[in-house]
Amino acid sequence: MRTAPPHPCIAIVVAMIATLASTARADHEKELRAKLAHIATHEETVMVPMRDGVRLATDIYRPKDTDAKLPTIFWRTPYNYHKLNGIRLEHVVHFVENGYAFVIQNERGRYHSEGEWEILGFPRTDGYDALTWIADQSWSNGRVGTIGCSSSAEWQLALAAKDHPAHAAMVPMAAGAGIGRVGEFYEQGNWYRGGTRQVLFLTWLYWVQNTQRPRLPDDLSDEDRVRLSKYYDLAADMPDVGWTKKIRHLPFDDIMREVDGPKGIFAEFCKYGPDDPYWSKGGLYHDKEDFGVPALWLNSWYDISVGPNLALFNHARTNATDPDVREHQYAIIAPTAHCRFFEPAYDLVVGERNMGNATFDYQGTITRFFDRWLKNEKNNFEKDTPKVQYYTMGANKWHSADNWPPKSTTTKTIYLDSDGHANSLFGDGRLTFDKPRDEGNVDRFVYDPTVPVPSLGGGVCCIGGMVEPGSFDQRDIEARADVLVYTSEPLDEPINVTGSVRITLYVSSDAKDTDFMVKLIDVHPDGRAFNVDDSAQRVRYREGYDREVFMEDGKVYELPISPMTTSNVFKKGHRIRLEVTSSNFPRIERNLNTGGPNYNESDPVTAHNAVHHSRTHPSCIVMTVLDN
């Protein structure tokens, strides 16, 4: 069903192009480093003290030949900044050229920073103290803007709740793992999705959590520390472990030990449910807190958690105490994968789906945003910049709106139906805009955790190369009998789905607990079936994440799935499709169907699961649709 592998000659050409591109990038970065040396002073490995005496390694870049007080861009990271490259190098050169100081700092316990590391790097204390230190420097104008992507963005959220007087603006990009609970989302830093555990933190912590590390002596002189930082970056060289095989190990909380990974918090995290008070003890931001900083949010349709990100954007717009902060929240949503905003997008392919020309002036928009709030320039940013700029897939165009979702939306409901055999692409599963008949049918499938449905694309990152993010033809997945497939007739008119997509299933099982996975698909006239978004729900949390309610064999339960969020035009002649199954592995930990804790169990149970659809049990999709 999938196309044949490329001819070997094509593979050679692709490899040659990749080599040329890599060489061009290396040459470009060499030019940037030479330019930076020409335009900037560089203070290396400055040890900035925190309130408890721990010192954090910090590099400072400032324009040469100026006595002016400078606004500062602050990038704080758990990653190795000593090899300045990629987008950080681009940002440093750009902002120094534009009259900014640029400060990069390692979180405590990382590389040359002292102390013990914690995920998100103590934003409410270390982050706050770092801003105070920057604002107190003789070259500072007292205004700091924070910037970063992924882990370098996530810490900014809890810092924003502290409303530091120097924190004038922030640009969090792909910041979902910094969100604890916001609204109906209880993802706790992307640890959960609909009460199911996401696997990405296993592989991410393997590479990042090097708490057992060599350390420089505390009494080392500053001169020697700078010199040694040029010789030794203290970056761990973690062995490859063959994740594709190791990820199947049970119990789940033992995998880090199985791969001889760093000792630390992975197994501890497994113990806590999606609404446990534990999640409020660290650096995550929760919506019970205030939000104190104007922000330009950059998000992506194929990132880990675009739904919570946009929910937090709306939370800041409606709940921040300061009306100026409420007014100055801006969001950009691109059709990219995690943190790929600055890659070429003229003819963008995300996975296998061509998104067209998705070019956007991110750097120009960010610069104008910072110029407005850090330099107080009267540059009409507020007047010229829509509150929301989002890319609609299918139409392959950028659009703007005053709100998310846009106000000119309604909802459209489409119902699941079949003659009782929706199993696989070759079954009789249907999506219909007509309400179900009185006597519906039931679609049944067997979920065996030892042969889970494999992950293919979607919003994913940091998972050890096991899954590539993006949109892929799903027909190989849909050929399985343990995947229910519901497809509409070809559309007579396009449907622009822009906003949340809510799915309610009526389910039963002979297991005490199981999972249900859903995937929204855009089926092209030639049969290609591209995933738009997906979600998951652990059935025990159907009544709330603060309780566990198990199933009884023979009973039918209403199951609201954790909502999806997207903007996609299903064109005339295309079909809308929904996949329903019980696994998405290795993106999501397998439910072993026992009703037990799951994370510390090793003996799976096969579940016989069912989806019901009738007037009594109207399993359906409720789509947010933009008016034409």
Residues belonging to the active site: 150, 303, 338
Those residues with Cβ within 8 angstroms of residue 428's Cβ, 6 or more apart along the chain or in another chain: 418, 419, 420, 421, 422
Those residues with Cβ within 8 angstroms of residue 56's Cβ, 6 or more apart along the chain or in another chain: 47, 48, 50, 105, 106, 107, 108, 113, 114, 115, 126, 130
Mapping DSSP onto H, E and C, the string for 514-547 reads CEEEEEEEEECCCCCEEEEEEEEEEHHHCCCCCC
The neighbouring-strand residues paired with 391 are 398
Residue 450: CB atoms within 10 A of its CB come to 10
The residue whose two tokens read 């040469």 is: 64
The residue whose two tokens read 């330009």 is: 296
What are the helix (H) ranges across 240-279? 243-246, 255-258, 266-270
The neighbouring-strand residues paired with 198 are 588
Structure tokens at 474: 């799903």
Parallel, antiparallel or unpaired: strands 167-173 and 140-149:
parallel
Residue 289: CB atoms within 10 A of its CB come to 18
Decide: 511 and 551 in contact? Cβ < 8 Å: yes
Q: How many whole angstroms separate alpha carbon 88 and alpha carbon 105?
A: 12
Parallel, antiparallel or unpaired: strands 101-106 and 55-63:
antiparallel
Q: How many whole angstroms separate alpha carbon 468 and alpha carbon 136?
A: 44
The neighbouring-strand residues paired with 515 are 538
> SS3 for 177?
helix
Task: Identify the DSSP state of 125.
Answer: I
